[in-house]
């Protein structure tokens, strides 16, 4: 995980509509940047739906929510439409951003080791500085924990 108090690595990725979105687009507001393994899987769906259910509280607090995975723009479009997700989903097929945020790591499942996304969240302040790093978050409680941390 990146350290709290450090500048968040800049990025520009495509959203579910194929539009370029940069972290710098959000200077002046807090950003919840969450990384997840895969669209339409049980844990990732629960996590996304929890963020969607709490989205009005984030929006009222002027906090942007951004989800990033390795999935394609088209996959994100289907995922967002299926679950009515109101926040930004970004596609990182090259894993460049996943690696820069230290969430692309070796994982072992059923004795098999492979590279994948470790479900993690960063809270970034209005100046682009990481103020909270949350490794290995739980999909069902991540959104609530962030709201509690932010006092929302």
49 is catalytic: no
Q: Which residues 6+ apart lie within 8 Å of 126 measured at CB?
A: 27, 28, 29, 30
Please report, for residues 17, 50, 107, the alpha-carbon distance to residue 82 in angstroms, rounded to integers and kept in the order given.
15, 14, 28
Catalytic member of 31, 44, 64, 90: 44
Unique residue bearing structure tokens 């509280």: 57
User: Helix, strand, coil % (nearest 5) of the chain?
Assistant: 30, 30, 35
Q: How far is CA 36 from the centre of its chain?
A: 6
Residues noted as catalytic: 44
């Amino acid at each position: 995980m990146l350290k709290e108090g450090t500048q968040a690595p800049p990025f520009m990725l495509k959203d579910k509509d194929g539009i370029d979105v940069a972290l710098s687009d959000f200077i002046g507001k807090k950003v919840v940047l969450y990384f997840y393994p895969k669209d339409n899987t049980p844990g990732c769906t629960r996590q996304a739906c929890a963020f969607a259910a709490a989205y009005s509280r984030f929006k009222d607090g002027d906090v942007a929510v951004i989800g990033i995975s390795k999935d394609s723009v088209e996959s994100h479009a289907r995922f967002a439409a299926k679950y009515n997700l109101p926040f930004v989903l970004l596609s990182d097929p090259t894993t460049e951003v996943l690696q820069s945020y230290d969430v692309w790591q070796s994982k072992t499942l059923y004795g098999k080791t492979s590279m994948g996304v470790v479900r993690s969240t960063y809270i970034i302040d209005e100046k682009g500085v990481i103020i909270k790093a949350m490794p290995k978050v739980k999909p069902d409680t991540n959104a609530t924990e962030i709201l509690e941390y932010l006092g929302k």
